[in-house]
Amino acid sequence: MSRVVVTVMPRAGVLDPEGQAVQGALARMGFAGVEDVRIGKRIELVLAGDDPEGQARRMCEQLLANPLIEDYSVEVQG
Amino acid sequence: MTGRPLVAIVRFPGSLDHETARRASEAAGAEVAWAWHSDTELPPGTRSVIVPGGFSYGDHLRCGAIASRSPIMAAVRRHAEAGGLVLGICNGFQVLCEAGLLPGVLRRNASLRFICRQVELEVADAGTPWTRGAPPVLSMPIKHNEGAWFGDPAEGRVVLRYRENPNGSVDGVAGIANRAGNVLGLMPHPEEASDPLLGSTDGRALFAALVA
């Protein structure tokens, strides 16, 4: 079995209002120099089978990410 | 069978607005049959399909994403590809975008606030089956948190635009159809603008297509 971490993030250039709201809040709290905040998702999978990375990528393409607005990365942690 | 045109209304776990869609369809003169998310075929004789509003599958992952992969959607896709009418309202619009039957995707409102109010819509394309004979401006309610349409308007036909963009939709898109015009999705609720008691009857124009 493999543990696979999928990270889904808003694509560069796509407005991330959630990230902007958090950035504004951090600034108001006194955190200086917060130049950007982007908020995404982390999805942890435990996969049986011999191609966990390929399987996770197919899952991303078919369901876990929407390529119009999101990029994903896949990390197999063994 | 009544001989009236049959409208299949799709129900997922978490669908909410199927009853109001049924009332509006029946008031327009259609007969309604339910189609369950787990069904692999639409009811025999289905003339048109409505994917109603709600929070299908709890809106988990992305609104409409999980519903768009459910078994009934393969049947809805075949119906659309054969030229049959498909109307997606609110969450149903999100489902149709996630299914790739309509261009783009619905994102969180730019304000990060749930919006619930009456809005005015301009009919931007009066040549679709849905908008033939519709008045140029329609008043309908919106009630959504993820209603900001994002995509390339040139990939479809912009059918309805907000007069005042409430949610950050690209190009003010409130409703968009596929190029053929037979599949329409919109965030506003025509079924909740279909009776004088609800303050507007402008939504009836869209339901008239179900029996045309």
Residue of chain A nearest B111, judged by CA positions: A17
How high is the ipTM of this complex?
Answer: 0.87
| pLDDT value of position A14 | 86
* Tens digit of each residue's pLDDT (9 = 90 or more) over A14-23: 888 899 999 9
Inter-chain Cβ pairs, chain A and chain B, closer than 8 A: 29
What are the structural domains of chain B? 6-211 (3.40.50.880)
* Tens digit of each residue's pLDDT (9 = 90 or more) over B56-104: 999 999 999 999 999 999 999 999 999 999 999 999 999 999 999 999 9
* Tens digit of each residue's pLDDT (9 = 90 or more) over A36-76: 999 999 999 999 999 999 999 999 999 999 999 999 999 99
| pLDDT value of position B180 | 98
Residue of chain A nearest B110, judged by CA positions: A17
| pLDDT value of position B120 | 98
| pLDDT value of position A27 | 96
Cβ-nearest to A66 among B62, B69, B110:
B62
Cβ-nearest to B150 among A62, A63, A69:
A69
Name, in order, each residue with C-beta under 8 angstroms of A54's C-beta and a sequence gap of 6 or more.
Answer: none
A63 touches chain B (CB under 8 A): yes
| pLDDT value of position B1 | 56
B99 touches chain A (CB under 8 A): no
Smallest CA–CA separation between B126 and chain A, in Å? 28
A48 touches chain B (CB under 8 A): no
pLDDT band at B123 (very low <50, low <70, confident <90, very high): very high
Rounded to the nearest integer, the mean pLDDT of chain B is 97
Token pair for B163: 């007069």
Select from B94, B107, B145 the residue whose CB has the most chain A CBs within 10 Å, as the one to mutate to test that interface: B107
Task: Write the DSSP assignment of chain A as a string of letters.
Answer: -EEEEEEEEEPTTS--HHHHHHHHHHHHTT-TT-------EEEEEEE-SS-HHHHHHHHIIIII--TTTEEEEEEE--
